[in-house]
Amino acid sequence: MKIAVCIKQVVTREWQLRVNDQKTWIRDQDASFELNEPDAYALEEALRLKEKHGGEVIVCSAGPVRAAQVIREALGGAIRDEQVDLVLTGLQSDDQGFGQVGVVLAETLGMPHATIIMEVHVDESSGQETGASGQGHGAPGHVRVKRELEGGWFQWVTLPLPALLTIQSGINQLRYATLKGIMAAKKKEIKKVVPAAAPQPAQRIASLYFPEKGKKTQMIAGGPAEAAKELVKRLKEDARVL
């Protein structure tokens, strides 16, 4: 089974954030970067599936030259022409947190997808599929996954392969790369893929700013009974927490 994992490079959590002069993004010229943590769980899940079912894991990332570092950490490559059986992404990124990469990519690749995955079980029975080259290759036919819903509920879904899954953080225990693995990663090929046409952004960030702090203390006059009644009223009607 061939699995592709999408990863993103984000600013390290220890770095002190500063907004740029245009107030549209952070000043990242002197920032330090790391692998997006939710994507690390997707990568770990891919490695576990490879260890159980065999096959290959490739990694894809978009970005400037500095993004090659996270690809080296993950032993990476590219996706579209790789004829993968399964694509995994993290649930969202640590910087923007839109959670859209997985679902948009699934639509672009024409794959069924499921989100917020807590468990992955691959069908062991192999089916014969035909790739773009016309040559057949054996691949599992389905994947059964457990989705996390609201209110403590879960949902089991079965999807035909190839498919795309967005992995929930905490699905597994992350492992650290061994020295042997780090040395082997330096010998892996990094394939550069240039888009046929420059993508046009469908949205733009209008403004970016730190949360504004301010005191909004309100004093309620009257005796204890009247004040308590007025407090409950404001919590219900104004704050809407009751």
* pLDDT at residue 57, as a whole number: 92
Q: Where are the domains of the chain?
A: 2-185
* pLDDT at residue 23, as a whole number: 87
Count Cβ neighbours within 10 Å for each residue of 135-151 and write b for 16 or more, e otherwise: eeeebbeebebbbbeee
Burial class (CB in 10 A: 0-12, 13-18, 19+), 103: middle
Structure tokens at 57: 């894991």
Assign 64 a pLDDT band (cuts: 50, 70, 90): confident
For domain 2-185, give its CATH number from 3.40.50.620, 3.30.70.260, 3.40.50.720, 3.40.50.2300: 3.40.50.620
For residue 58, count other CB atoms closer than 10 A to its CB: 21
**Amino acid sitting at position 160:** P
Assign 80 a pLDDT band (cuts: 50, 70, 90): low
- Report yes or no: 126 and 42 within 8 Å, Cβ to Cβ: no
Question: How many Cα atoms are found within 13 Å in the side-chain-facing hemisphere of 194?
Answer: 3
* pLDDT at residue 53, as a whole number: 92
The DSSP annotation for 216-234 comes to ---PPPS-HHHHHHHHHHH
Query: Among 128-142, 150-164, 170-184, which range has the highest average pLDDT?
Result: 150-164
* Phi, psi at 130, each rounded to 5°: -115, 125
